[in-house]
Amino acid sequence: MSRLLLLCRSNKSPWVCLTCSSVHCGRYVNGHAKKHYEDAQIPMSNHKKTEKQEKVQHTVCMDCSSYSTYCYRCDDFVVNDTKLGLVQKVREHLQNLENSAFTSDRHRKRKLLENSSLNSKLLKVNGSTTALCATGLRNLGNTCFMNAILQSLSNIQQFCCYFKELPAVELRNGKTAGRRTYHTRSQGDNNVSLVEEFRKTLCALWQGSQTAFSPESLFYVVWKIMPNFRGYQQQDAHEFMRYLLDHLHLELQGGFNGVSRSVILQENSSLTASSKCCINGASTVVTAIFGGILQNEVNCLICGTESRKFDPFLDLSLDIPSQFRNKRTKNQENGPMCTLRDCLRSFTDLEELDETELYMCHKCKKKQKSTKKFWIQKLPKVLCLHLKRFHWTAYLRNKVDTYVEFPLRGLDMKCYLLEPENSGPESCLYDLAAVVVHHGSGVGSGHYTAYAAHEGRWFHFNDSTVTLTDEETVVKAKAYILFYVERQAKSGSDKL
What are the residue numbers of the active site? 144, 447
Give the SS3 label for residue 347.
helix
Q: What is the DSSP string of 305-321?
A: -EEEEEEEES-EEE---
DSSP 68: -
Q: From CA 381, how far away is CA 375, in angstroms rounded? A: 17
Residues 70, 71, 74, 76: what is their CA dihedral angle, to the nearest 10 degrees?
0
Q: Where are the beta strands (DSSP E) in 53-178?
A: 60-63, 69-71, 76-78, 122-125, 128-131, 136-137
Please give the Cα distance from 334 to 209 (Å, whole number): 48
Closest alpha carbon to 233 in 31, 79, 349: 79
Strands 397-399 vs 404-405: parallel, antiparallel or unpaired: unpaired
Give the residues across from 429 on adjacent strands.
412
- E strands along 132-220, which residues? 136-137, 212-213
* Closest listed residue to residue 387, CA positions, set 402, 374, 377, 375: 402
With DSSP H G I counted as helix, E B as strand and the rest as coil, what are the percentages for the chain, rounded to 5?
Answer: 30, 25, 45
Sign of the C-alpha dihedral computed for residues 359, 363, 366 and 369 taken in this order:
negative
Q: Sign of the C-alpha dihedral, residues 347, 352, 358, 360?
A: positive
Within 10 Å of residue 37's Cβ, how many Cβ atoms? 20
Q: How many CA atoms lie within 13 A of 386 on its CB side?
A: 15
**Spatial separation of the C-alpha atoms in residues 134 and 4, rounded to whole Å:** 31
Q: Is 131 exposed, middle or buried (0-12, 13-18, 19+ CB in 10 A)?
A: exposed
Alpha helices in 398-486 (DSSP H): 471-475
Evaluated on CA atoms 161, 165, 166, 172, the torsion sign reads positive
- How far apart, in whole angstroms, are the C-alpha atoms of residue 383 and residue 364? 38
Q: How far is CA 263 from CA 144, 249, 258, in A?
A: 34, 13, 11
CA–CA separation, 103 vs 468, rounded Å?
33
Euclidean distance between CA atoms 287 and 337, whole angstroms: 34
The answer to whether residues 403 and 328 touch, using CB atoms and an 8 Å cutoff, is yes
